[in-house]
Amino acid sequence: MRQPSLYLRQQWHTGTAGAGVLAVAGLVVLAFMFWHHDPAPPGSGPYSAAQDAEYRLSQESVVLSGTRERLFVLERWKTDAGQPSGASVNLLIVDSEDASSQWMFPDNGQTILSRDELRTTDGAFSPVSGVVLTVSNTGGEKQRESLYYHRVGGGPAVRFLTADAIVSADQTSPDRYLVIYRNGTRTTAAVYSLVDFRVLAEKAAPDVPQ
């Protein structure tokens, strides 16, 4: 059997080595491109396809444990002056089983300050029965704050208190909700029923000691 010449063997080895070098170089380029890939901006999605979009819908949802509901935050993307805002103005409630959805508020004229999950029983792992939202009302001459409740499986949020400021709001038992609020210089404590959110007790706090 005829053996290839020394020249051909050298050319074959040279070509093989060259191909290996090119392959390694290609992998280095791909790794560099992957490492320096710019991720999508936070909150990018159907409401922020353009950078100057007025609103954007969050990609991550708030899971109400033990329920089918997921909450997606709608943020105001920019202020009237064109500056980044990031204020939460609404919530999209999505049923994770039948894909139905509804908005928590009929418009975006408020800023959601906080969300308090209500539990049916004591314990961090008990199912969520609803949420209480502390909201800043942006309309009108004077900015005030309100409390809204939403029951899991129910309709949009319902307002049950408006004051100059909500100092504190907290579930104290499976069927009681304590609110401390302020109007002017007067501070008031109120206990609400979690069954129908009617006032069970309401008393003004004593004046601040001088």
pLDDT tens-digit map of 109-159:
899 999 999 998 766 668 999 999 999 986 666 789 999 999 999 999 999
Place of tokens 């999950």: 117
End-to-end CA distance of the chain: 112
Q: Is the pTM of this model over 0.75?
A: no
Tell me how far apart the alpha carbons of residues 201 and 60 are, in angstroms, rounded to a whole number.
39
Place of tokens 């444990």: 65
Residue 143 in contact with residue 81, Cβ under 8 Å? Answer: no
**pLDDT higher than 70, residue 106:** yes
The first and second tokens of residue 129, run together, are: 């029965």
**Residue 99 exposure: Cα atoms within 13 Å on the Cβ side:** 0
Tell me how far apart the alpha carbons of residues 56 and 191 are, in angstroms, rounded to a whole number.
36
**Residue 177 exposure: Cα atoms within 13 Å on the Cβ side:** 26
